[in-house]
Amino acid sequence: MKDCLFCDIVSGKVSSYTLFEDETIKVIMDAFPNDTGHTLIIPKKHYKDLDDIDIEVLKHIMEEAKVVKKVLEKVLNPSSIILINNTGDAQKIKHFHLHLIPKYDESKKLSLNEVYDLLKDEF
């Protein structure tokens, strides 16, 4: 889709900190993380939001979210992980995506590069 950041990331027009990808999804580090290890799962095909996405793609995203969650827990040791999908006005990029945001009892401030280096070989 024209003027979609995530479509540009999927196509390679825009670089990303890619942790994993297959024929259906791409798992990337959020460029502007809410917390250390903030990760996104995006479908390679453009779906506007939850109402638009194919149920099989959504199922695959949730299966991979379980894998990503385990890796984040193993490597970063958060106290919890929040999964978020925004719709409507809260959805800044109108391409379905799932956020996995680790939370910590004590602040864990690592740069995006540091977190990527820790996680990239775990997938």
Per-residue pLDDT tens over the stretch 21-35: 999 999 999 999 999
Burial 56-69 (b: 16+ CB within 10 A, else e): ebbebbeebbeebb
Output the CATH code of domain 5-122.
3.30.428.10
Per-residue pLDDT tens over the stretch 39-69: 999 999 999 999 999 999 999 999 999 999 9
Q: Where are the domains of the chain?
A: 5-122
CA distance 102 to 120: 16
Of residues 110 and 8, more confidently modeled:
8
> Is the pLDDT confidence value at 9 over 90?
yes
